[in-house]
Amino acid sequence: MTVVIVAPGQGSQTPGFLEPWLAEPQFSDHLEALAEAAGVDLRTHGTTSDADTIRDTAVAQPLIVGASLLSIAGVLDGGRRDRIAGIAGHSVGELAAAAGAGIIDESDAMRLVAIRGRAMADAAAQVATGMSAVIGADADALTERLNALGLAAANVNGGGQIVVAGELDALERLREEPPAGARVIPLQVAGAFHTRFMESAVEALRAAASEVTVSDPRLRIWTNRDGSTVASGREFLDLVVGQVASPVRWDLTMENFAASGITGLVELAPAGALVGLAKRGLKGIPTVAVKTPDDLSAAQALIDQESAA
């Protein structure tokens, strides 16, 4: 059992990406149940809504988690839940991972992600903030520059990619005067996620999470907080709540995948970003990005192959 399942975070969505899934009745019916739990029209947003609409945090987050939950059922069909090494999620993907591990049920995951998305959108509206990807910077030089500008490392993704966040004027100054050898790429997001600017969202999500029934995980699960595994369902959910205003350490998560002997990785829909990071941070392991139902057979084959090795 050496394949890990991973659920992507915000920014993975693209216009129309759910159309292939909704062509199949079992996935269409499943999506309707997920949409009802979230109170968000996932069908419209996953098929006909434009890029600006699905960039809205309150729309993007339920859409991404809904897609991951839709695809995990197909990936693990045929008893494959017992053949994988575990599960993890990047940022908002941790709610999909929590449901996949049996910590919370799918309806609670969708209800929480809808609250999370709205609360983070509200927090982002308070101050003009954003995020930028920094590629190729020396870590010490970048830290010094961030401290000088009042910025923070929000996502440390591994493979030389760090996403920084803070007020827009400071991000522009970083773009104009980056550390030596670095590129700074502004991201199309609404605010400084995973920083102190999201504290009000933490409180809103904490109140909602306190009302959810929680079980201990039935699958090994890794946390973004420091890449470690967590055996308590309540502890994991508490970490998911606090993570809204704290950095995502995907680099440490991948390091712990490697230390655990992971030999394959399957990324749930809307896939692509985490497979890309794995190709740089977990070099040499086979990966499958589940973008459409046509990719399910390759994901299942990888699980079967690695579990039999």
Three-class DSSP category at 218: coil
Closest to 7 in 3D by CA, of 250, 235, 297: 250
Hey, which residues are catalytic here?
A: 91, 194
Determine the pLDDT at residue 160: 79
Determine the pLDDT at residue 20: 96
Q: What DSSP state is assigned to residue 229?
A: B
Task: Average pLDDT across each block of 10 residues of the chain; the chain has 309 residues. List them in order.
Answer: 92 94 94 97 97 94 97 93 96 98 98 97 94 92 95 91 95 95 89 96 96 97 97 98 97 96 96 93 93 97 85
Domains of the chain: 3-124+195-308 (3.40.366.10), 129-186 (3.30.70.250)
Determine the pLDDT at residue 1: 62
Determine the pLDDT at residue 309: 65
Q: Which residues of 191-228 are buried (b: 16+ CB within 10 A; e: fewer)?
A: bbbbbebbeebbebbeebbeebebeebebbbbbbbebe
Half-sphere exposure of 279 (CA within 13 A, CB side): 9
**What tokens were used for 303?**
């699980």
